Amino acid sequence: MLTIVGTVTSDDLRTRRANSFGAHAHAYAEHRPDYPAPAIRWALSPLGPGAHEVLDLAAGTGKLTGGLVAEGHHVTAVEPDESMLSELVRRHGGVRALPGTAERIPLPDATVDAVLVGQAFHWFDPARALPEIARVLRPGGVLAGLWNGDDVEVPWVAEFNRITRGGTEPLDTAVRSIPDHELFKDAETRTFPHTHRRTAETLAATVDTYSHAIVMPQDEREALRQRMLDFLLSQPETAEGEFDVPLRTHVERAIRT
């Protein structure tokens, strides 16, 4: 059953959130964290050493693309939003970048060694996406999802997380697993420590790129930003200059049968 909010369904809100990033592509690229190299290496480790053909699916502005390129892999980035894809090309001009979705990947059968998905699996229709991902993977290839999340074991981070969420479902962290499917086997997970260098102002700007914040009415968004700044400027860890935001990067990988 759909939850009704006035005359707007929860599916409507989800669609708005899924389509909200393009107008904020530059801010997304500037303020979202990257992914730790050890997490990327672990995700791809079943393939063995060397450079591999990797699809960065739902690549956004290339936060994961950059890490894959730095590791020496041959990357194809696929992203449905034109503005996000343009920002990716601006920042990673040497990468093959194509418009497309997880449910309709613009690549031939069995042409990549791995498909990696950074912070986006929750937007997919798994019933359609998993067979399509399996189609472009070579047998024995890797599917991996990576999710950055706040390290809420740190007290100030836990309180900041509570302030920023405000009871809104955080879709980017709600789904952190790859659904079981007969085309994939040997699922494994691991979590890696990570940090994001921020100031009070740029950490608030990071939250401004979250879908639940983007779709807020302007007055609510401004009020949220003020609450964030008030809190950060009151904490000794975050009141002055730059600081490291503690993150945890969760990775799940599975092997194409």
Which DSSP string do the residues of 5-57 spell out, in sequence order? ETTEEHHHHHHHHHT-SGGGHHHHHHHS----HHHHHHHHGGG-SS--EEEEE
Q: Provide mean pLDDT across the span 126-141.
A: 98
Q: Provide mean pLDDT across the span 93-105.
A: 97
The whole-model pTM stands at 0.86
Q: Among 57-71, 168-182, 213-227, which range has the highest average pLDDT?
A: 57-71
Looking at residue 153, its pLDDT comes to: 97
Class level of CATH domain 13-151+170-197+244-256: alpha beta
Looking at residue 210, its pLDDT comes to: 87
pLDDT exceeds 50 at position 175: yes
Rounded-to-integer distance, Cα 236 and Cα 68, Å? 35
Looking at residue 215, its pLDDT comes to: 78
What residues are paired with 245 via a beta bridge?
Answer: 196
Looking at residue 20, its pLDDT comes to: 44
pLDDT range class, residue 166, cuts 50, 70, 90 = low
96 contacts 65 by C-beta, under 8 angstroms: no
For the chain, give the mean pLDDT. Answer: 88
Looking at residue 61, its pLDDT comes to: 96
pLDDT exceeds 60 at position 8: no
Residue whose C-alpha is closest to residue 60's, from 107, 13, 92? 92
